[in-house]
Amino acid sequence: MTLLLQFFGISDSLHLFELEQRYPRGPVFAGFRPCQLDRLLSWGQQTAQMRCWDLDLVHQAVLQGWLEREELIRQWQRRLLESPADQLLVTGLGNERDWQQRCEQLFDA
């Protein structure tokens, strides 16, 4: 199984809640402020337990996603500092089937 971590941008918690409720199938979404690797890893661990995923696989996906997008994450972190306090960096974690379902849901909406 391959897992993919994606960063979507800055949004408020209400929009994040709507995203989670509107698309219950597919990737797991979360919002972070501040966006720090240890918080992402902790969330990944909780997600692994919830989805019965291999913890090592999730840990690897989060680390790889962080390292591959290091400069982008720094940009998001700077934008968060300039954003209102209720804004979060939205991220998603899922396997190939989760992301496929997410895309299908977007076209069905």
6 in a domain, yes or no?
no
Q: What is the pLDDT of residue 46?
A: 95
Does a structural domain hold residue 9? Answer: no
* Domains: count for the chain: 1
Secondary structure (H, E, C), 79-94: HHHHCCCCEEEEEEEE
Distance of alpha carbon 18 from the chain centroid = 15
For residue 58, is it within any domain?
yes
Residue 3 included in any domain? no
pLDDT, residue 105, reads 78
Rounded distance between C-alpha atoms, residue 61 and residue 48, angstroms: 11
Q: Is the pTM of this model over 0.85?
A: yes
CA–CA separation, 50 and 68 (whole Å) = 25
DSSP tag of 25: S
Question: How far out from the chain centre does Cα 35 lie?
Answer: 11
Q: What is the mean pLDDT of each run of 10 residues along the chain (109 residues)?
A: 89 88 83 94 95 95 94 93 94 90 77
